[in-house]
Chains A and B, each alone.
Chain A
Amino acid sequence: MGRLARAGPTLGGAALAGAARLLRVPRRGGRPGADGDVVAPARWEVVTVDRPPEQVLPDGRWPEPLRRLDGAVEVRVRPAPGDRGTELAARPVAGVTPPTGLAAHLVGDDPGLLVRRMLRQLKQRVEAGEVLRADRCALDRPEVRG
Protein backbone atom coordinates (compact mmCIF):
# COMPACT_ATOMS: atom_id res chain seq x y z
CA MET A 1 0.00 0.00 0.00
CA GLY A 2 2.79 2.28 0.86
CA ARG A 3 4.19 1.70 -2.56
CA LEU A 4 1.07 3.10 -4.09
CA ALA A 5 1.21 6.16 -2.01
CA ARG A 6 4.88 6.77 -2.38
CA ALA A 7 5.97 6.26 -5.91
CA GLY A 8 5.35 2.77 -7.10
CA PRO A 9 3.07 1.35 -9.77
CA THR A 10 1.55 -1.62 -7.91
CA LEU A 11 -1.20 -1.96 -5.36
CA GLY A 12 -1.92 -5.26 -3.58
CA GLY A 13 -5.33 -6.90 -3.55
CA ALA A 14 -5.92 -6.03 0.06
CA ALA A 15 -4.97 -2.48 -0.65
CA LEU A 16 -7.31 -2.41 -3.59
CA ALA A 17 -10.14 -3.48 -1.37
CA GLY A 18 -9.06 -0.75 0.96
CA ALA A 19 -9.41 1.77 -1.78
CA ALA A 20 -12.86 2.36 -0.42
CA ARG A 21 -11.04 4.44 2.13
CA LEU A 22 -8.38 7.02 1.73
CA LEU A 23 -5.36 4.86 1.07
CA ARG A 24 -2.71 7.18 2.23
CA VAL A 25 -1.86 10.79 2.11
CA PRO A 26 1.87 11.01 2.74
CA ARG A 27 2.99 13.80 4.95
CA ARG A 28 6.35 15.05 3.97
CA GLY A 29 8.44 17.90 5.10
CA GLY A 30 9.64 20.44 2.63
CA ARG A 31 12.99 20.03 0.97
CA PRO A 32 15.75 22.58 0.99
CA GLY A 33 15.97 24.79 -2.04
CA ALA A 34 19.16 26.11 -3.57
CA ASP A 35 19.20 29.06 -1.22
CA GLY A 36 18.52 26.91 1.80
CA ASP A 37 14.86 27.84 2.09
CA VAL A 38 12.39 25.06 2.60
CA VAL A 39 10.48 24.35 -0.60
CA ALA A 40 6.78 23.77 -0.08
CA PRO A 41 5.41 20.45 -1.28
CA ALA A 42 3.84 20.56 -4.71
CA ARG A 43 0.09 20.89 -4.90
CA TRP A 44 -2.02 17.82 -5.34
CA GLU A 45 -3.56 17.58 -8.78
CA VAL A 46 -6.93 15.84 -8.62
CA VAL A 47 -9.43 14.37 -11.03
CA THR A 48 -12.67 12.58 -10.38
CA VAL A 49 -13.07 9.44 -12.45
CA ASP A 50 -16.63 8.21 -12.83
CA ARG A 51 -15.74 4.60 -12.07
CA PRO A 52 -15.06 2.65 -8.85
CA PRO A 53 -11.46 2.45 -7.60
CA GLU A 54 -10.95 -1.10 -8.85
CA GLN A 55 -11.58 0.09 -12.39
CA VAL A 56 -9.40 3.14 -12.02
CA LEU A 57 -6.45 1.09 -10.76
CA PRO A 58 -7.17 -2.41 -12.12
CA ASP A 59 -5.31 -5.23 -10.39
CA GLY A 60 -3.93 -2.70 -8.01
CA ARG A 61 -1.47 -1.36 -10.55
CA TRP A 62 -0.95 2.09 -11.86
CA PRO A 63 -2.21 2.03 -15.40
CA GLU A 64 -0.72 3.92 -18.29
CA PRO A 65 -0.02 6.75 -18.62
CA LEU A 66 0.42 7.16 -14.86
CA ARG A 67 2.98 4.35 -14.79
CA ARG A 68 5.38 6.55 -16.68
CA LEU A 69 5.61 8.75 -13.62
CA ASP A 70 6.70 5.85 -11.44
CA GLY A 71 9.05 7.16 -8.82
CA ALA A 72 8.36 10.77 -9.60
CA VAL A 73 4.91 11.22 -8.09
CA GLU A 74 2.91 10.10 -5.13
CA VAL A 75 -0.69 9.12 -5.54
CA ARG A 76 -3.75 8.95 -3.38
CA VAL A 77 -7.11 7.47 -4.23
CA ARG A 78 -10.44 7.52 -2.48
CA PRO A 79 -14.09 7.10 -3.35
CA ALA A 80 -15.81 10.27 -4.46
CA PRO A 81 -18.74 11.38 -2.34
CA GLY A 82 -22.21 10.83 -3.69
CA ASP A 83 -21.29 7.69 -5.58
CA ARG A 84 -19.50 9.70 -8.23
CA GLY A 85 -16.63 7.32 -8.71
CA THR A 86 -13.07 7.80 -7.57
CA GLU A 87 -11.02 10.81 -6.62
CA LEU A 88 -7.52 10.30 -7.91
CA ALA A 89 -4.78 12.70 -6.85
CA ALA A 90 -1.09 12.92 -7.61
CA ARG A 91 1.75 15.30 -6.97
CA PRO A 92 5.46 15.34 -7.64
CA VAL A 93 7.50 13.69 -4.90
CA ALA A 94 9.60 16.22 -3.07
CA GLY A 95 13.29 15.61 -3.40
CA VAL A 96 12.98 12.82 -5.93
CA THR A 97 14.74 13.21 -9.24
CA PRO A 98 12.23 12.52 -11.96
CA PRO A 99 12.96 9.96 -14.66
CA THR A 100 15.02 11.21 -17.54
CA GLY A 101 12.95 13.29 -19.88
CA LEU A 102 10.43 14.30 -17.27
CA ALA A 103 12.62 16.65 -15.33
CA ALA A 104 11.89 19.66 -17.47
CA HIS A 105 8.19 19.07 -17.16
CA LEU A 106 8.24 18.63 -13.45
CA VAL A 107 10.42 21.57 -12.58
CA GLY A 108 9.39 23.93 -15.36
CA ASP A 109 7.12 26.91 -15.13
CA ASP A 110 4.19 24.70 -14.20
CA PRO A 111 5.39 21.59 -12.40
CA GLY A 112 1.87 20.28 -12.15
CA LEU A 113 1.23 20.36 -15.86
CA LEU A 114 2.55 16.91 -16.68
CA VAL A 115 0.87 15.36 -13.65
CA ARG A 116 -2.39 17.01 -14.58
CA ARG A 117 -2.14 15.83 -18.14
CA MET A 118 -1.43 12.27 -17.06
CA LEU A 119 -4.39 12.25 -14.71
CA ARG A 120 -6.65 13.60 -17.42
CA GLN A 121 -5.42 11.00 -19.87
CA LEU A 122 -5.99 8.26 -17.34
CA LYS A 123 -9.51 9.56 -16.79
CA GLN A 124 -10.14 9.59 -20.54
CA ARG A 125 -8.87 6.03 -20.90
CA VAL A 126 -11.07 4.74 -18.10
CA GLU A 127 -14.23 6.67 -18.99
CA ALA A 128 -14.00 6.91 -22.75
CA GLY A 129 -11.74 4.02 -23.61
CA GLU A 130 -9.15 6.09 -25.43
CA VAL A 131 -7.15 9.26 -25.17
CA LEU A 132 -8.66 11.73 -27.56
CA ARG A 133 -6.35 13.26 -30.13
CA ALA A 134 -6.91 16.59 -31.81
CA ASP A 135 -7.26 16.94 -35.54
CA ARG A 136 -4.02 17.85 -37.13
CA CYS A 137 -4.08 21.50 -38.04
CA ALA A 138 -3.98 22.12 -41.76
CA LEU A 139 -1.04 24.43 -41.28
CA ASP A 140 0.91 21.68 -39.53
CA ARG A 141 0.89 19.72 -42.76
CA PRO A 142 2.98 20.73 -45.69
CA GLU A 143 0.51 20.16 -48.49
CA VAL A 144 -1.68 23.14 -47.59
CA ARG A 145 -1.93 25.61 -50.39
CA GLY A 146 -4.05 28.64 -50.92
Chain B
Amino acid sequence: MRALCWLAAGELGVREVPDPELRNERDVIVRVRRSATSGGDLPLLAGRHPLLRAGDVLGAEFLGEVVEVGPGVRRHRVGDRVVVGASVACGGCWYCRQGLHSCCDNAHADLASADPDRASTDAGCFGRPRAAGGFAGGHAEYVRVPYADVSAFRVPDAVDDDRAVFAADAAPTGWLATELGAVRPGDVVAIWGAGAVGQLTARAAVLRGAARVLVVDQHEDRLRMAERHFDAEPLDYRRTDVAAELRDRSGGRGPDVCVVAVGAPPSRSLADRFGGQHTDRPDALREAVHACRKSGVVVVLGGTGGFVDAFPLGAVTERRLTLRCAARPNLRDVPMLLDRMASDELRTEHLATHRLPLAQGPEGYALFRDRADGCVRAVFTP
Protein backbone atom coordinates (compact mmCIF):
# COMPACT_ATOMS: atom_id res chain seq x y z
CA MET B 1 0.00 0.00 0.00
CA ARG B 2 0.98 3.64 -0.23
CA ALA B 3 1.66 5.67 2.89
CA LEU B 4 3.05 9.03 3.87
CA CYS B 5 6.34 8.32 5.61
CA TRP B 6 8.75 10.38 7.62
CA LEU B 7 12.10 10.13 5.84
CA ALA B 8 14.32 12.67 7.56
CA ALA B 9 14.02 15.98 9.37
CA GLY B 10 11.86 18.16 7.18
CA GLU B 11 11.42 15.45 4.57
CA LEU B 12 8.30 13.40 3.95
CA GLY B 13 7.53 11.08 1.09
CA VAL B 14 4.75 8.81 -0.11
CA ARG B 15 6.19 5.33 -0.24
CA GLU B 16 5.12 1.79 -0.87
CA VAL B 17 4.97 -0.05 2.46
CA PRO B 18 3.60 -3.45 3.47
CA ASP B 19 -0.08 -3.69 4.31
CA PRO B 20 -0.88 -3.73 8.03
CA GLU B 21 -1.96 -7.00 9.60
CA LEU B 22 -4.06 -8.10 12.54
CA ARG B 23 -1.58 -8.45 15.39
CA ASN B 24 -3.97 -8.85 18.33
CA GLU B 25 -7.43 -10.31 18.77
CA ARG B 26 -9.00 -6.92 19.46
CA ASP B 27 -7.60 -5.32 16.28
CA VAL B 28 -9.43 -4.23 13.18
CA ILE B 29 -7.98 -3.12 9.86
CA VAL B 30 -9.44 0.08 8.47
CA ARG B 31 -9.31 1.21 4.86
CA VAL B 32 -8.70 4.93 5.18
CA ARG B 33 -11.10 7.36 3.53
CA ARG B 34 -9.82 10.60 5.07
CA SER B 35 -6.84 11.59 7.18
CA ALA B 36 -6.00 15.02 8.54
CA THR B 37 -2.82 16.86 9.40
CA SER B 38 -2.36 17.56 13.07
CA GLY B 39 -0.33 20.07 15.02
CA GLY B 40 1.22 17.23 16.97
CA ASP B 41 2.83 16.02 13.75
CA LEU B 42 4.89 19.15 13.25
CA PRO B 43 7.59 18.39 15.83
CA LEU B 44 7.90 14.98 14.20
CA LEU B 45 8.20 16.49 10.76
CA ALA B 46 10.92 18.78 12.04
CA GLY B 47 12.86 15.79 13.33
CA ARG B 48 12.46 16.78 16.96
CA HIS B 49 11.64 13.28 18.15
CA PRO B 50 14.86 11.33 18.61
CA LEU B 51 13.20 7.93 18.19
CA LEU B 52 11.65 8.47 14.76
CA ARG B 53 12.88 6.11 12.11
CA ALA B 54 12.86 6.60 8.38
CA GLY B 55 9.75 4.87 7.09
CA ASP B 56 7.53 5.62 10.10
CA VAL B 57 4.02 6.32 8.84
CA LEU B 58 2.51 9.56 10.14
CA GLY B 59 -1.08 10.51 10.82
CA ALA B 60 -2.98 10.57 14.11
CA GLU B 61 -6.42 11.56 12.80
CA PHE B 62 -8.31 9.44 10.31
CA LEU B 63 -11.57 7.91 9.30
CA GLY B 64 -12.30 4.86 7.19
CA GLU B 65 -14.10 1.62 6.62
CA VAL B 66 -13.53 -1.59 8.55
CA VAL B 67 -12.24 -4.30 6.22
CA GLU B 68 -10.93 -6.91 8.63
CA VAL B 69 -11.93 -7.78 12.19
CA GLY B 70 -10.04 -9.65 14.89
CA PRO B 71 -11.78 -12.47 16.77
CA GLY B 72 -11.93 -10.46 19.99
CA VAL B 73 -13.77 -7.50 18.49
CA ARG B 74 -17.40 -7.13 19.58
CA ARG B 75 -18.65 -3.76 18.38
CA HIS B 76 -17.47 -3.60 14.79
CA ARG B 77 -18.11 -5.49 11.60
CA VAL B 78 -16.65 -5.40 8.15
CA GLY B 79 -18.16 -2.46 6.30
CA ASP B 80 -18.60 -0.17 9.30
CA ARG B 81 -17.61 3.42 8.65
CA VAL B 82 -15.61 4.49 11.68
CA VAL B 83 -13.66 7.43 12.96
CA VAL B 84 -10.68 6.40 15.05
CA GLY B 85 -9.63 8.35 18.11
CA ALA B 86 -6.02 9.46 18.07
CA SER B 87 -5.33 7.75 21.38
CA VAL B 88 -4.93 4.01 21.59
CA ALA B 89 -6.52 2.88 24.84
CA CYS B 90 -7.37 -0.52 26.31
CA GLY B 91 -10.63 0.36 28.05
CA GLY B 92 -9.85 -1.91 31.00
CA CYS B 93 -7.22 -0.22 33.14
CA TRP B 94 -7.96 2.10 36.04
CA TYR B 95 -7.42 5.21 33.93
CA CYS B 96 -9.67 4.04 31.11
CA ARG B 97 -12.35 3.10 33.63
CA GLN B 98 -12.22 6.66 34.93
CA GLY B 99 -12.68 7.93 31.37
CA LEU B 100 -9.04 9.08 31.20
CA HIS B 101 -8.22 7.25 27.98
CA SER B 102 -5.24 9.39 27.11
CA CYS B 103 -3.60 8.12 30.31
CA CYS B 104 -4.18 4.43 29.46
CA ASP B 105 -1.74 2.05 31.14
CA ASN B 106 -1.85 -0.65 28.49
CA ALA B 107 -1.53 1.05 25.15
CA HIS B 108 2.18 0.88 24.64
CA ALA B 109 3.38 -2.17 22.82
CA ASP B 110 6.77 -2.13 24.47
CA LEU B 111 6.33 -0.58 27.87
CA ALA B 112 9.64 -1.64 29.25
CA SER B 113 11.68 -0.01 26.54
CA ALA B 114 9.44 3.02 26.31
CA ASP B 115 9.61 3.74 29.97
CA PRO B 116 12.41 1.83 31.60
CA ASP B 117 12.08 3.36 35.02
CA ARG B 118 8.43 3.82 35.77
CA ALA B 119 5.11 2.81 34.34
CA SER B 120 4.14 6.38 33.72
CA THR B 121 3.76 6.41 29.98
CA ASP B 122 0.59 7.85 28.57
CA ALA B 123 -1.63 6.17 26.02
CA GLY B 124 -0.41 5.10 22.64
CA CYS B 125 -1.01 7.24 19.62
CA PHE B 126 -1.19 6.54 15.92
CA GLY B 127 1.60 7.83 13.76
CA ARG B 128 4.18 8.13 16.47
CA PRO B 129 7.58 6.47 16.91
CA ARG B 130 7.72 2.95 18.26
CA ALA B 131 8.72 4.11 21.70
CA ALA B 132 5.60 6.28 21.76
CA GLY B 133 3.35 3.30 21.32
CA GLY B 134 4.40 1.52 18.19
CA PHE B 135 1.43 2.15 15.91
CA ALA B 136 1.59 3.30 12.31
CA GLY B 137 -0.45 6.33 11.37
CA GLY B 138 -3.46 7.02 9.21
CA HIS B 139 -1.83 8.76 6.27
CA ALA B 140 -2.01 5.49 4.42
CA GLU B 141 -4.40 3.29 2.52
CA TYR B 142 -4.89 0.93 5.47
CA VAL B 143 -4.33 1.13 9.21
CA ARG B 144 -4.33 -1.41 12.01
CA VAL B 145 -6.48 -0.23 14.96
CA PRO B 146 -5.72 -1.96 18.28
CA TYR B 147 -8.44 -2.20 20.94
CA ALA B 148 -10.93 -1.27 18.23
CA ASP B 149 -13.97 -1.58 20.47
CA VAL B 150 -12.55 1.27 22.54
CA SER B 151 -10.83 3.44 19.95
CA ALA B 152 -13.08 3.26 16.87
CA PHE B 153 -16.56 4.74 16.59
CA ARG B 154 -19.27 4.19 14.02
CA VAL B 155 -20.09 7.35 12.16
CA PRO B 156 -23.79 8.25 11.82
CA ASP B 157 -25.03 8.21 8.22
CA ALA B 158 -25.91 11.88 8.48
CA VAL B 159 -22.29 12.87 9.03
CA ASP B 160 -20.06 12.92 5.97
CA ASP B 161 -16.39 12.05 5.97
CA ASP B 162 -15.15 15.61 5.74
CA ARG B 163 -16.95 16.53 8.92
CA ALA B 164 -16.46 13.33 10.86
CA VAL B 165 -12.69 13.19 10.45
CA PHE B 166 -12.45 16.03 12.97
CA ALA B 167 -14.08 13.83 15.60
CA ALA B 168 -10.84 11.86 15.77
CA ASP B 169 -8.94 14.44 17.74
CA ALA B 170 -9.52 18.15 17.13
CA ALA B 171 -13.16 18.27 18.23
CA PRO B 172 -12.73 16.14 21.37
CA THR B 173 -9.62 18.12 22.28
CA GLY B 174 -11.62 21.33 22.08
CA TRP B 175 -14.37 19.77 24.14
CA LEU B 176 -11.88 18.56 26.73
CA ALA B 177 -10.45 22.06 27.04
CA THR B 178 -13.83 23.38 28.11
CA GLU B 179 -14.30 20.44 30.45
CA LEU B 180 -10.93 21.04 32.10
CA GLY B 181 -11.79 24.71 32.31
CA ALA B 182 -15.20 23.85 33.79
CA VAL B 183 -16.83 26.35 31.45
CA ARG B 184 -20.24 27.31 32.74
CA PRO B 185 -23.13 29.30 31.33
CA GLY B 186 -22.32 32.99 31.41
CA ASP B 187 -18.55 32.55 31.43
CA VAL B 188 -16.12 34.62 29.42
CA VAL B 189 -13.66 32.31 27.67
CA ALA B 190 -10.47 33.42 25.94
CA ILE B 191 -8.57 31.14 23.61
CA TRP B 192 -5.06 31.64 22.30
CA GLY B 193 -4.70 30.05 18.87
CA ALA B 194 -7.29 30.01 16.10
CA GLY B 195 -6.29 26.75 14.47
CA ALA B 196 -8.70 23.85 14.28
CA VAL B 197 -8.40 23.00 17.98
CA GLY B 198 -8.72 26.62 19.06
CA GLN B 199 -11.80 27.11 16.89
CA LEU B 200 -13.39 23.90 18.12
CA THR B 201 -12.68 24.97 21.68
CA ALA B 202 -14.57 28.15 20.90
CA ARG B 203 -17.52 26.16 19.60
CA ALA B 204 -17.45 23.86 22.61
CA ALA B 205 -17.49 26.88 24.91
CA VAL B 206 -20.53 28.27 23.10
CA LEU B 207 -22.27 24.90 23.35
CA ARG B 208 -21.60 24.90 27.09
CA GLY B 209 -23.26 28.27 27.40
CA ALA B 210 -20.34 30.70 27.51
CA ALA B 211 -21.58 34.25 27.24
CA ARG B 212 -18.56 35.50 25.39
CA VAL B 213 -15.77 33.72 23.54
CA LEU B 214 -12.65 35.53 22.38
CA VAL B 215 -9.95 34.09 20.15
CA VAL B 216 -6.43 35.50 19.97
CA ASP B 217 -4.25 34.93 16.93
CA GLN B 218 -2.26 36.78 14.30
CA HIS B 219 -3.72 35.12 11.21
CA GLU B 220 -6.57 37.18 9.87
CA ASP B 221 -8.11 34.35 7.88
CA ARG B 222 -8.26 32.07 10.90
CA LEU B 223 -9.71 34.78 13.09
CA ARG B 224 -12.42 35.53 10.53
CA MET B 225 -13.17 31.84 10.28
CA ALA B 226 -13.63 31.57 14.06
CA GLU B 227 -15.88 34.61 13.98
CA ARG B 228 -17.96 33.48 11.03
CA HIS B 229 -18.42 29.82 11.93
CA PHE B 230 -18.22 29.77 15.71
CA ASP B 231 -19.41 33.18 16.95
CA ALA B 232 -16.03 34.01 18.48
CA GLU B 233 -14.75 37.56 18.88
CA PRO B 234 -11.39 37.87 17.11
CA LEU B 235 -8.38 39.59 18.64
CA ASP B 236 -5.38 40.10 16.36
CA TYR B 237 -2.47 40.46 18.74
CA ARG B 238 -0.43 42.33 16.15
CA ARG B 239 -2.92 45.17 16.18
CA THR B 240 -4.54 44.91 19.57
CA ASP B 241 -3.55 45.31 23.19
CA VAL B 242 -4.82 41.87 24.08
CA ALA B 243 -4.62 42.30 27.85
CA ALA B 244 -6.57 45.54 27.73
CA GLU B 245 -9.18 44.14 25.38
CA LEU B 246 -9.70 41.08 27.54
CA ARG B 247 -10.14 43.24 30.62
CA ASP B 248 -12.58 45.51 28.83
CA ARG B 249 -14.64 42.66 27.45
CA SER B 250 -14.92 40.92 30.80
CA GLY B 251 -16.02 43.87 32.88
CA GLY B 252 -12.52 44.43 34.22
CA ARG B 253 -12.32 40.97 35.78
CA GLY B 254 -10.48 38.99 33.15
CA PRO B 255 -11.77 35.87 31.42
CA ASP B 256 -13.07 33.08 33.63
CA VAL B 257 -11.31 30.48 31.54
CA CYS B 258 -8.21 30.92 29.38
CA VAL B 259 -7.24 28.19 26.95
CA VAL B 260 -3.81 28.02 25.32
CA ALA B 261 -4.10 26.16 22.02
CA VAL B 262 -1.16 27.53 20.10
CA GLY B 263 0.44 24.30 18.99
CA ALA B 264 4.09 23.50 18.74
CA PRO B 265 6.74 26.21 19.07
CA PRO B 266 9.14 26.90 16.22
CA SER B 267 11.81 24.36 15.42
CA ARG B 268 14.91 24.43 17.51
CA SER B 269 18.39 24.75 16.17
CA LEU B 270 20.56 21.66 15.96
CA ALA B 271 22.69 22.99 18.78
CA ASP B 272 19.65 23.37 20.98
CA ARG B 273 18.39 19.91 20.22
CA PHE B 274 21.61 18.13 20.91
CA GLY B 275 22.67 20.34 23.76
CA GLY B 276 19.42 19.72 25.57
CA GLN B 277 19.45 23.18 27.09
CA HIS B 278 16.73 24.70 25.01
CA THR B 279 13.61 25.93 26.70
CA ASP B 280 10.63 27.40 24.94
CA ARG B 281 9.26 30.75 25.94
CA PRO B 282 5.57 30.27 26.53
CA ASP B 283 4.45 33.73 25.46
CA ALA B 284 0.80 32.80 25.02
CA LEU B 285 0.74 30.93 28.30
CA ARG B 286 2.22 33.88 30.16
CA GLU B 287 -0.31 36.20 28.61
CA ALA B 288 -3.13 33.83 29.55
CA VAL B 289 -1.95 33.61 33.16
CA HIS B 290 -1.80 37.38 33.50
CA ALA B 291 -5.16 37.87 31.79
CA CYS B 292 -7.17 35.27 33.66
CA ARG B 293 -9.48 36.46 36.42
CA LYS B 294 -8.64 35.69 40.03
CA SER B 295 -9.36 32.06 40.83
CA GLY B 296 -9.92 31.36 37.16
CA VAL B 297 -8.72 28.37 35.17
CA VAL B 298 -5.91 28.28 32.62
CA VAL B 299 -5.98 25.27 30.32
CA VAL B 300 -2.89 24.32 28.34
CA LEU B 301 -3.34 21.98 25.40
CA GLY B 302 -0.22 20.07 24.28
CA GLY B 303 2.41 21.24 21.86
CA THR B 304 4.15 23.77 24.06
CA GLY B 305 7.43 21.89 24.00
CA GLY B 306 9.17 19.77 26.55
CA PHE B 307 10.48 22.58 28.68
CA VAL B 308 9.47 26.17 29.21
CA ASP B 309 11.15 28.92 31.10
CA ALA B 310 10.07 32.25 32.55
CA PHE B 311 6.80 30.78 33.71
CA PRO B 312 4.88 33.25 35.89
CA LEU B 313 4.37 30.98 38.86
CA GLY B 314 3.96 33.94 41.20
CA ALA B 315 0.93 35.15 39.32
CA VAL B 316 -0.56 31.68 39.43
CA THR B 317 -0.21 31.40 43.18
CA GLU B 318 -0.99 34.98 44.13
CA ARG B 319 -4.11 35.01 42.03
CA ARG B 320 -5.11 31.49 42.99
CA LEU B 321 -5.33 30.22 39.45
CA THR B 322 -5.91 26.62 38.51
CA LEU B 323 -3.67 25.24 35.78
CA ARG B 324 -4.92 22.19 33.91
CA CYS B 325 -3.30 20.48 30.95
CA ALA B 326 -3.84 17.81 28.33
CA ALA B 327 -2.05 16.59 25.25
CA ARG B 328 -4.78 14.34 23.87
CA PRO B 329 -8.51 14.09 24.42
CA ASN B 330 -10.72 11.46 25.98
CA LEU B 331 -12.30 8.91 23.72
CA ARG B 332 -15.54 8.97 25.68
CA ASP B 333 -16.55 12.29 24.11
CA VAL B 334 -16.36 11.10 20.50
CA PRO B 335 -19.87 9.57 20.24
CA MET B 336 -21.43 12.66 21.78
CA LEU B 337 -19.59 14.88 19.32
CA LEU B 338 -20.61 12.70 16.37
CA ASP B 339 -24.22 13.11 17.52
CA ARG B 340 -23.76 16.86 17.64
CA MET B 341 -22.28 16.73 14.16
CA ALA B 342 -25.28 14.74 12.98
CA SER B 343 -27.64 17.37 14.34
CA ASP B 344 -25.61 20.20 12.76
CA GLU B 345 -24.74 21.62 16.16
CA LEU B 346 -21.11 21.07 15.31
CA ARG B 347 -19.88 21.76 11.79
CA THR B 348 -16.24 21.24 11.07
CA GLU B 349 -15.75 20.76 7.34
CA HIS B 350 -14.65 24.35 6.77
CA LEU B 351 -11.52 23.56 8.77
CA ALA B 352 -10.39 21.29 5.93
CA THR B 353 -9.11 24.19 3.91
CA HIS B 354 -7.09 21.94 1.63
CA ARG B 355 -8.30 18.59 0.33
CA LEU B 356 -5.57 16.68 -1.42
CA PRO B 357 -4.80 13.17 -2.60
CA LEU B 358 -2.44 11.31 -0.31
CA ALA B 359 0.18 11.48 -3.05
CA GLN B 360 0.40 15.21 -2.29
CA GLY B 361 0.91 14.62 1.41
CA PRO B 362 4.29 16.35 1.57
CA GLU B 363 2.85 19.44 -0.10
CA GLY B 364 -0.10 19.38 2.27
CA TYR B 365 2.16 19.28 5.28
CA ALA B 366 4.26 22.11 3.92
CA LEU B 367 1.12 24.25 3.61
CA PHE B 368 0.00 23.25 7.08
CA ARG B 369 3.39 23.85 8.68
CA ASP B 370 3.79 27.27 7.12
CA ARG B 371 0.12 28.22 7.49
CA ALA B 372 0.40 29.10 3.82
CA ASP B 373 -2.51 29.79 1.51
CA GLY B 374 -4.85 30.05 4.48
CA CYS B 375 -4.24 26.43 5.43
CA VAL B 376 -5.88 25.41 8.70
CA ARG B 377 -5.89 21.67 8.05
CA ALA B 378 -4.98 19.59 5.03
CA VAL B 379 -7.15 16.51 4.60
CA PHE B 380 -5.92 13.64 2.46
CA THR B 381 -7.79 11.00 0.51
CA PRO B 382 -5.78 7.87 -0.31
The interface residues of chain B lying within 8 Å CB-to-CB of A116 are: 111-112, 116
Find out whether the CB atom of B116 lies under 8 angstroms from the CB atom of A113.
yes
Find out whether the CB atom of B94 lies under 8 angstroms from the CB atom of A85.
yes
> What is the total of A-B residue contacts with beta carbons within 8 Å?
102
Cα–Cα, bound, A48→B119 (Å): 10
- Tell me if B367 is interfacial: C-beta within 8 Å of chain A: no
- Tell me if A34 is interfacial: C-beta within 8 Å of chain B: no
- Tell me if A139 is interfacial: C-beta within 8 Å of chain B: yes
Residue of A nearest to B23 (CB): A133
Find out whether the CB atom of B91 lies under 8 angstroms from the CB atom of A128.
yes
Against B, the Cβ 8 Å flags (1 = close, 0 = not) of A118-146 are 00100110011111111111110101111
Cα–Cα, bound, A131→B26 (Å): 10
- Tell me if A47 is interfacial: C-beta within 8 Å of chain B: yes
The interface residues of chain B lying within 8 Å CB-to-CB of A48 are: 94
- Tell me if A50 is interfacial: C-beta within 8 Å of chain B: yes
Residue of A nearest to B108 (CB): A132
Q: How many residues of chain B have a CB within 8 Å of chain A?
A: 44
- Tell me if B185 is interfacial: C-beta within 8 Å of chain A: no
Which of B49-57, B188-196, B317-325 lies at the interface?
B49-57
> Taking A127-B92, A130-B26, A137-B56 as contacts, is the C-beta distance between A50 and B97 under 8 angstroms?
yes
The interface residues of chain A lying within 8 Å CB-to-CB of B109 are: 132-135
Cα–Cα, bound, A136→B19 (Å): 10
Residue of B nearest to A80 (CB): B94
> Taking A113-B116, A144-B18 as contacts, is the C-beta distance between A128 and B134 under 8 angstroms?
no
Cα–Cα, bound, A115→B17 (Å): 35
> Taking A127-B105, A128-B147, A143-B18 as contacts, is the C-beta distance between A135 and B111 under 8 angstroms?
no
Cα–Cα, bound, A146→B21 (Å): 21
Find out whether the CB atom of A144 lies under 8 angstroms from the CB atom of B55.
yes
Question: Which size class do A's interface residues fall under?
Answer: 20 to 34
Against A, the Cβ 8 Å flags (1 = close, 0 = not) of B61-72 are 000000000001
Cα–Cα, bound, A146→B15 (Å): 5
Cα–Cα, bound, A83→B337 (Å): 32
Find out whether the CB atom of A128 lies under 8 angstroms from the CB atom of B110.
no
Q: Within the complex, what minimum Cβ distance (angstroms) separates A117 from chain B?
A: 4
> Taking A130-B24, A138-B5 as contacts, is the C-beta distance between A123 and B15 under 8 angstroms?
no
Against B, the Cβ 8 Å flags (1 = close, 0 = not) of A82-118 are 0011000000000000000000000000100100110
- 22 A–B contacts from the bound complex (CB under 8 Å): A50-B92, A84-B94, A110-B116, A123-B105, A124-B106, A127-B93, A129-B25, A129-B72, A130-B25, A132-B108, A132-B124, A133-B23, A133-B109, A134-B109, A134-B130, A135-B20, A135-B23, A135-B135, A136-B21, A139-B53, A144-B16, A145-B16
A residues near B, CB below 8 A? 47-48, 50, 84-85, 110, 113, 116-117, 120, 123-124, 127-139, 141, 143-146
